[in-house]
Structure 1
């Protein structure tokens, strides 16, 4: 049976690849992004594709998109909460406004869309909410503190929200990729701090060099991840998490090992 997918941030990157993979699987896709023209430019004309503009930080707009999708197609079977961006750089180099904007999009915007769709899924006692997080939502590093903070928050929210929804037939999948070959690390999706702090000059220069070198050379294949997400959506049982990529599994595993060690040390200290 054909499913109806609602995908945010679908004009490029992983969102575009998930939308394309769903279309290739015979699904109906409502693809959204802040710019309607950007969505239309990202896809060839397709009978099962419906493009809508959506700024996820606008709760009323999220409600309208959900309502329009349900009115037109009768259901939302899969929500892919993908839209987001990264503040990359050292914490003290970001203004308060920049940090709050990171949370406004990555956390509160994602919440807006879930809040708009979840009631429909609860009524139907059916549906899947796919939340695109990051391995940076499990482990943080210097230069990623602000971005990781927003993704840690997404992880904590969805981990609890998923348990609230599960008895009502609504499934959840947190996707935690490592570094994917998308434009996520260029200036379309990432921004850097604006405050100059002499103590960090050398470290920030090294970090920016790393980002510039990694951009376009990331090891993860977004098409492969998109195919995995679409395949999992068709299964009756869905894992609560998908840690994708050798790098992500290595970083997540190291964090688990670190936590185990620190928990043991905490017990030894009494």
Structure 2
């Protein structure tokens, strides 16, 4: 039986993908900052170990990996799912908040991968699935720092994929859309609420706020399961595909970013994000 280690598995995508792997017979190391917050269903699977891993604490990363190897004999797949979004006007975001965003979304994932690679190299195989976002391909207003962290995650993942492919280890990227109903938004709201308001941006914020509220109200109710299915597919399909974009809400703008001219893409995004006259 194969084993997967998943970060940020207490809820949302992480919990859903942990259950998906467990239900088909995989051993699962479901990690989270606070194991007491684990959903009750996680505790009902004998092939699932819920344990502590805080991506900002390298000792907990090493401990969780060692615990998983000791319990199940090895680890075959790592899913870097832990993350949160920092939303707001760039000028109002503190330097400390920006560092924290990169510490979780980028450096945390890097530290998990750095810690697992000696084990993967000893086996001559392994799979890393990094959970990015549509914001890893597109810069969204009010999300410039979050987008920057996910752009960094994707660039690192793509470059890393060539290095690791040479020694039998695969890297995949999964890009969920922007409007998903998960506990991801709880930390996002807490972090974003600490920013300093700047009155000059108020008209723009009202316009963009209305736009994003509309996006949120039309969120795909099946997005969590779609993303969990895409993560499972990425980990198991045996292909060389690098990116997986499982939710429909982000597809039109992703297609424009990757398939049309820069001028056409810019015209599309200006039409979406430019404040409309009152």
Q: Same fold (TM over 0.5)?
A: yes
Matches for 1:114-125 after TM superposition, within 5 Å: 114-125=113-124
For residues 76-115 of structure 1, the aligned pairs below 5 Å read 76-115=75-114
Question: Equivalents in 2 of 1:144, 1:196: separation in Å?
Answer: 15
Q: Distance in 2 between matches of 1:187 and 1:81?
A: 19
Partner SS for 1:87: coil
- Inter-partner Cα distance in structure 2 for 1:147 and 1:259: 25
**Distance 1:183-1:205 versus aligned 2 partners, 3 A rule:** farther
Q: CA deviation at 1:46?
A: 1.3
Structure 1 229/183 Cα, relative in aligned 2: closer, same or farther at 3 Å? closer
Q: 1:34 to 1:208 in 2, by over 3 A?
A: farther
Write out per-residue CA displacement over residues 219-248 of structure 1, whole angstroms, 9 at most, x where no aligned residue. 262112212322342232241111222232
Contact 2:130 2:173 (C-alpha < 8 Å) held by counterparts: yes
Which of 236, 239, 243 is the matching residue for 2:238? Answer: 236
Contact 2:11/2:39, CA 8 A, preserved across alignment: no
Q: 1:140 to 1:39 in 2, by over 3 A?
A: same
Which TM-score applies when normalising by structure 2? 0.87
Cα distance between partner residues in 2 of 1:225 and 1:5: 16
Tell me which moved more, 174-183 or 30-39. Answer: 174-183
Tell me, in whole angstroms, the C-alpha distance in 2 between the residues paired with 1:242 and 1:159: 13
Q: Look up the match of 2:164.
A: 165
Q: Tell me if the contact between 1:12 and 1:42 (Cα under 8 Å) persists in the aligned partners.
A: no
Classify the secondary structure of the residue corresponding to 1:254. Answer: helix
Q: Distance in 1 between matches of 2:225 and 2:176?
A: 12
Task: Measure the CA separation in 2 of the matches of 1:184 and 1:30.
Answer: 20
Deviations 1:98-119 (A, max 9, x none): 1111001100111111111122
Point out where structure 1 has 5 or more consecutive residues left out of the alignment. Answer: 263-270
State the Cα distance separating 1:258 from its structure 2 match. Answer: 5.2
Distance in 1 (CA, whole Å) between partners of 2:90 and 2:25 is 44
The question of 1:204 aligning with 2:209 is answered no
Q: Which runs of 5+ in 2 are unaligned?
A: 265-278
What's the secondary structure of 1:22's corresponding residue?
helix
- 1:129-168 paired onto structure 2 within 5 Å: 129-168=128-167
Q: CA deviation at 1:25?
A: 1.4
Residue 151 of structure 2 aligns to a residue in which SS?
A: helix
Q: Secondary structure at the match of 1:128?
A: strand
Residue 185 of structure 1, CA deviation: 5.8
Q: Partner of 1:177 in structure 2?
A: 176
Name the TM-score, length of structure 1 as normaliser: 0.89
Deviates more, 1:37-46 or 1:148-157: 37-46
Whether 1:253 aligns to 2:255 is yes
User: Is 2:224 the counterpart of 1:225?
Assistant: no
- What is the Cα deviation at residue 216 of structure 1? 6.3
- Cα shift at 1:68: 1.6
Q: Is the 8 A contact 2:128 2:171 kept in 1?
A: yes
